[in-house]
Structure formats: structure tokens, C-alpha cells
Structure 1
Amino acid sequence: MNRGPLLHADADAFFASVVLRSRPQLAALPVAVVAHVIIASANYPARARGVRSGVLTQEALLQCPELILVDVPRGEVEEAGDALLDLFRDCARAVEPGSMEEAFLDVGARSTEEAVAAGREVRRRAAAELRIPVSVGVGRTKLMAKLASRAAKPDGLHVIGPGREAELRAGLPLRDVWGVGARTVERLESLGITGLSGLDDIPYDTLRRLCGTAMARRLRAIREGSDDAVVRPVEHRSTLSSEGSTKGYERPDWTPAELAAMCVERVCRRAERAGLLASGLTLTTRPDDEGPARVLKGKQPVPTASPQVWSAVVRSLLARADPSPLAGLRVTLTALVPVDRVQNTLF
């Protein structure tokens, strides 16, 4: 169990930061990374002009006509995410990833000063080795560390100490509480509860009836200050994914077969670099008509990271897929195990 402050490390505008590594001359200009026709990530100069992720490129250009658009480099982004996670693991005794660009870190700090020093080292190494800005938050629990990293952006370090923590537990709006969904917020707001302090005015049974047992317990713990403060390490990835769109921004379209082949090559290369082998594969296809995604699965009797083996599996799965046009797809290697474990079993 953690005895001191935790870190939450989060890369700033991750996709855009990865793109700007090879385009430093654009760093001060508004830049957005595009996935087909949707803004996937915008740098901070673009955000200052009102550009947000998730909007159509046409809307973004109306908001900011000088916006520079770059097609998302999926392979580079995925590899940068792997490298960032490796760096986190090198800097901490336990790492709990939240996504490819963020994680909670237990650095063994016994004081805020030690945690701050560790956070500065994470930021220094990310900037020097990966050329990616990382904001770091320091807090007693995961929620406080997460809120601190939000306050640290862009490219900073922020500490939520005891005094500020007490203020937040009393006055934080429910909409700003990490992990509390919109539906839960709406149900509580219907009773006039908009902040954490409002939870004091509602019986626990009512809270549980509105939000469910797990969320009710979590909200009570957050209000009381007994929320999660344990970093649960992931020793190795159980899955690895690579995805992409058939259509890009100002690039030639790819056929589903071409895109699938690229995804298999990328994800197998990442698995091999991490010393992992897979015995399963999942192909998720996204139809062009915005219909529901379709999931197809394949497996191999012996774990492998061979792109040739998994390419054959994906070709077979694609042949079974819905013949309607695809907007994109994702290839996921599953049931990953370390290569030395497989070798010990075989020999």
C-alpha cells in the first residue's frame, strides 16, 4: 500500500505533441491532428483559438481559419505511447496506466518533497528522451493526483496539499470529479446536489438507489477522504492494439486489407519489442455508415508475435466480415504472455 503522495503523469495534447516532434517550427502555431474528418488532438495554441478534439475539421477551420491540419500518424503515436509507459515504469516502483499517455505512479515517496522531485525527473526525462511534454500532479489519493495534473497543464507540475484537498472535498463540483459519469451527475443534480458537500444532505440509501452501490460507496469515500490511494501495477500488457481509418486527411485512401496489414505489422512489432507473445487476436471493424462495430476473433495454438501468422488470421477474418465499406478497423493481440514464460513451458 502507498504510504506517501502519488503522482499522476499525463502527456499534454499527446497526438499533437508526437506530431510536433518532427515539426518543431510549428510548435507556436495552431496545429491539430486529424483522424479522417475529426479533430483527434489540438495543441495549446489551437485550443486558445477555440479548437477542441471531437469536432469536425470544417467546424475547426471556421473557428480557426489558420489552423494547420496533420493526418494522425497512428504508428508513431502507438510507439510513443509504449515508450512513455516504459519511461514511467523506469521511474516508479508501480505504474497503473489509464491510457496510452497517462498513468498513476507510486514512486515510493515518503513526503511531498520526494514526490515533487520524482515528478520533476519524470518530466525531465520525457522531454529529453521522448521530446514529449508531460504534466505531473501530486496528491494523497488518485483523485487528488488526477486533479493536480489537470491543474498542472500545460507542461507543468502541481501539488494538492492538505489544505487545498480539504477545500476540494467540500466545494468540488460533481462534474469535475474524475470517474463520475454524466448520468450520475444528472440524477444528483435533479435533487439539487451539484457539489461534493451536497452529499452530506442525502441519506446513503437514497444515494445508493440513485447511483448504485459501487458509485455510492465511491462518492462517500471521496467526500470523507478515504478514496482510492493504491497504485495497482500492471506487470505486463494483456492486450495491444493498433487501429486506423481507411480514409485520411489529404492522403490516399487505404483498402481494408491494406489497413489491416499495416495494423498487424505495427502491433506485432510492438509486441516483439516488449517481449510479448499472443495466442489470440480480435478484429474490430467500423462500418462507413456509422452502424455498430463488428468484432471477429481468431486464435493460435502456440503464442506468437509473427506478423506473417497474424496477417493470415486477419485476412481470414476480413473475408468473413460484412462486405459493406469500412471507415476503419482495430487489430488487438490478446492473451499476451512474456516470451520467456512460453519458452520455459516449451522446453
Structure 2
Amino acid sequence: MNEADHPVPRKIIHVDMDAFYASVEQRDNPDLRGKPVAVGGSSGRGVVAAASYEARTYGVRSAMPSVSALRRCPDLIFAKPRFDVYRAISRQIRDIFARHTDLIEPLSLDEAYLDVTQDKQGIGSAVKIARMIRAAIFEETGLTASAGVSYNKFIAKLASDQNKPDGMCVILPDEGAAFVGGLPVRRFHGVGPRTAEKMERLGIRTGADLAAMSEEWLARNFGSSAGYLYKAARGIDDRPVNPSRLRKSVGGELTYAQDKQSNAELRSALDDIIDIVWRRVEAAQVSGRTVGLKARYADFRTLTRSRSLTRNIADRQEFASLGHALLDQILPVPMGVRLLGLTLSGIDRSPPNAHSGARAAPFVGVQQTLPLGFVE
């Protein structure tokens, strides 16, 4: 057999910051240290963007309505999000990664995959590199990070969550299948609550239970996910770390304490969103062809509209014009609007008003629509 029959296992590290937004707030405000903290809006329509570990002991989680979080933890302290600060720290962390490898695939502001199979410093040990990265993050930012070290992305991501916070877990190639087999299937990426419930009804609770099923059986019960589930249950993941992963969209949305209903109110609100989103577009140095509008009514019904051009949108003025044209399609609104958002998608690498010299945004990866905040 030749060398291709026995490929060298990759050395993959998944780094995940610990309660990133909340930890930044505790770092910068000593009065918050050791206390239950939630980043987000505290009013009735606020949502928890992140929770400190002290808050998590009460069952407070991200995406939880603030009123529910306060019921679980009456002493919960809310801090307003500071995304500019989080992004700046994320760039610091990306610079630390880059000392060891250029194969960095960001997933969000606070987590990324690194392929250190051939590291820049010739250290040769992924475990040692992960320790060095975690130590450098703490020394240079005052924040802790957890890491998973393994031979593929799927297991590295699972491992990074194994010893949180401020921990590390190493899974060697001959340990992968057993490690996955002992985990509850709800921890598998891509297995959401509904799928987990269905698996429970079918008697599948662990990775080992899943591995006992044939790919044909999985196809009958889980359709197009069968191939992924079959491989995941056996600790198999051939995906490479992709440093050129492109953002899908740049956008933002606002939730309002008081519903907006008049045409004038909504047009003014959209102007505020246009300003902030276009700044993000310029900072990311991207262009796009599609503008999308999102509006959520007081009864939580959500409406979307979009328009695509055959070319990239030229400038802020055209972006704003398209956004307002989409808003005009839904005016007058039948009831108050509690959330309004705008996105630019159909992204390519060319920055607005430029034909060359584009660069990817640091440690942001695939950009989903970020909340601009909760307007009191």
C-alpha cells in the first residue's frame, strides 16, 4: 500500500471562548465579577445574548427572553452589548492564532477551527500549541478559552465543550469512535431539539445507539441527514479547515420597546439601521447584490422581502433606496412592528466602490444578521 492509503491524520484545534460577551463585561467591570450577568436588554422584550457561568447555574441561557431569565435568577444583572469591543478582542485572538497557522476557519466572534498539522513554528504537537494559545489569550486579553484537540473538526468541536470553562480535551484518532459513542446525541452539531426528540422516540440516546443503525435505516428516518449522522456516530469527518470561508450576509436588526406603526416612524427607524449596517459593510470590505428586509409584528408574525440586482449594489445611497423600496411594499402595516432588520447578501469579495484589494474580515467567518441591540 502507498502513503495515500494511510493518510496522516490532521491535527485540528477548536478554540471556544468561555461565555465570551459576559466574560468581557466582567473583565471590564470589576463589580460584575462573580455575579450572574446577562448581556442583552432587560426590558420586557429583551433577549439574553450571552450569560455568565454564574447565571448559567440558574438555567439562564442565550436566546432566552429576559423576563424568563429574571424569573430563573431574580438577581441577574444585565449589561448592554458592546459589539465593537467584542470584535476588537476577536481580532486580538485571531492574531494569536495566526502565530501558529494560516489555516483558520472562524465560526463566530468567539470560536474557530485551526489546522496545525504543519504549524508555522515547527512545534509539531497540537496539544502543546493549544496550551500555548490558551495561555496567550489569557495573558493578552485577560479572558479564558477552552480547546478541543483531535483529528477532525467534528470531534474537536465536541471536545472543546467537554471541560468548560477554561479547560482542554484531547481525543486521539484511536479514541474517536468510543468518545462519540459515549455522548448524548443532542450534543451532536446539527441535532436540534426536534431531531433529538425523534431519536429518543426511536430509542437513540447516545452516539453508540446511533452507530448501531444502518445508513439505510437512517435515510428512511432522517432523510438527507443520514450520511452525516452515519459518519458522525463513527467519529468520521473529512471536512478540511477552510480559511477562505466567505460571509453569507452582513446585516442587523433592532427590537423596539414600543411598537412602531406609522409610516414616518418606520422610515426613520430604517434609516438608523441603514447607517449601522452600511458601516458594517464597509468595515467588512464586501459587496453584494441582494437587499433583504425583515419585519416582525406585535403578534410575532414575521414578514420578509428582498430584491436582487444583476450587479453589485453601487453605494450606500443605492442600498438605502432599495431598503426603503422594500419597506414601502409593506406599508401601511396592519399592526405595530416590534422588530425591523436589513441585510446585504449575495456577497462577493469586492469592497463597495473598489475593483481590487479586497480582504476577508478577521475572525468573523460566515456572518449572520447581528442584533444591533434592544431599543429602550
Tell me how far 1:159 sits from its aligned partner: 1.8
Q: Does 1:265 align with 2:271?
A: no
Matching residue within 236, 246, 253 for 2:256: 246
Match of 1:27 in 2: 33
Q: Which amino acid in 1 is paired with 2:15?
A: A
- Evaluate the alpha carbon distance shift between residue 27 and residue 290 of structure 1 in structure 2; reply closer, same or farther with a 3 A threshold: same
Match of 2:180 in 1: 169
SS of 1:336's equivalent in the other structure is coil
Distance in 1, Cα, partners of 2:90 & 2:323: 23
Matching residue within 267, 288, 292 for 1:282: 292
The residue correspondences of 1:18-167 to structure 2 (distance < 5 A) are 18-20=24-26, 22-35=28-41, 36-73=45-82, 79-80=87-88, 83=91, 86-87=94-95, 90=98, 92-109=101-118, 114-124=125-135, 126-127=137-138, 132-162=143-173, 164-167=175-178
Q: Which amino acid in 1 is paired with 2:60?
A: V
Of residues 137-146 and 110-119 in structure 1, the stretch that sits farther from structure 2 once superposed is: 110-119
Of residues 214-223 and 117-126 in structure 1, the stretch that sits farther from structure 2 once superposed is: 117-126
* TM score, norm. by length of structure 2: 0.75
Tell me how far 1:138 sits from its aligned partner: 1.1
Match of 1:181 in 2: 192
The residue correspondences of 1:302-341 to structure 2 (distance < 5 A) are 302-304=312-314, 306-322=315-331, 323=333, 324-339=335-350
- What are structure 2's unaligned runs of at least 5 residues? 1-6, 259-264, 358-376
SS of 1:246's equivalent in the other structure is strand
Distance in 1, Cα, partners of 2:116 & 2:286: 25
Provide, for residues 26-55 of structure 1, a one-character-per-residue CA deviation record: whole Å limited to 9, x for no partner.
132211122433322211111123322333
Q: Which amino acid in 2 is paired with 1:104?
A: Y
Distance in 2, Cα, partners of 1:81 & 1:220: 38
Q: Which amino acid in 2 is paired with 1:233?
A: P
SS of 1:276's equivalent in the other structure is coil
SS of 1:293's equivalent in the other structure is strand
Give aligned-pair identity as a percent: 30
Tell me how far 1:67 sits from its aligned partner: 1.3
- What are structure 1's unaligned runs of at least 5 residues? 249-254
Match of 1:208 in 2: 219
**Contact 2:59 2:72 (8 Å CA) reproduced:** yes
Tell me how far 1:99 sits from its aligned partner: 3.5
SS of 1:338's equivalent in the other structure is coil
Q: Which amino acid in 1 is paired with 2:179?
A: L
Q: Which amino acid in 1 is paired with 2:284?
A: A
- Evaluate the alpha carbon distance shift between residue 338 and residue 225 of structure 1 in structure 2; reply closer, same or farther with a 3 A threshold: closer
Report which of the two has the higher share of helix: 1
Distance in 2, Cα, partners of 1:281 & 1:130: 36
Distance in 2, Cα, partners of 1:81 & 1:240: 20
Tell me how far 1:162 sits from its aligned partner: 4.3
Tell me how far 1:301 sits from its aligned partner: 4.8
Tell me how far 1:145 sits from its aligned partner: 0.5
Q: Does 1:231 align with 2:245?
A: no
**Contact 1:74 1:244 (8 Å CA) reproduced:** no
Tell me how far 1:143 sits from its aligned partner: 1.8
Of residues 147-156 and 57-66 in structure 1, the stretch that sits farther from structure 2 once superposed is: 57-66
Match of 1:252 in 2: none
Distance in 2, Cα, partners of 1:139 & 1:336: 32
Distance in 2, Cα, partners of 1:21 & 1:308: 40
Matching residue within 213, 216, 220 for 2:230: 220
Tell me how far 1:210 sits from its aligned partner: 0.8
- Evaluate the alpha carbon distance shift between residue 24 and residue 215 of structure 1 in structure 2; reply closer, same or farther with a 3 A threshold: same
Distance in 1, Cα, partners of 2:130 & 2:354: 36
**Contact 1:88 1:95 (8 Å CA) reproduced:** no
**Contact 1:144 1:160 (8 Å CA) reproduced:** yes
SS of 2:243's equivalent in the other structure is coil
**Contact 1:280 1:300 (8 Å CA) reproduced:** no
**Contact 1:284 1:329 (8 Å CA) reproduced:** yes
Of residues 108-117 and 231-240 in structure 1, the stretch that sits farther from structure 2 once superposed is: 108-117
Q: Which amino acid in 1 is paired with 2:19?
A: A
* TM score, norm. by length of structure 1: 0.80
Distance in 1, Cα, partners of 2:180 & 2:55: 33
Tell me how far 1:87 sits from its aligned partner: 4.1
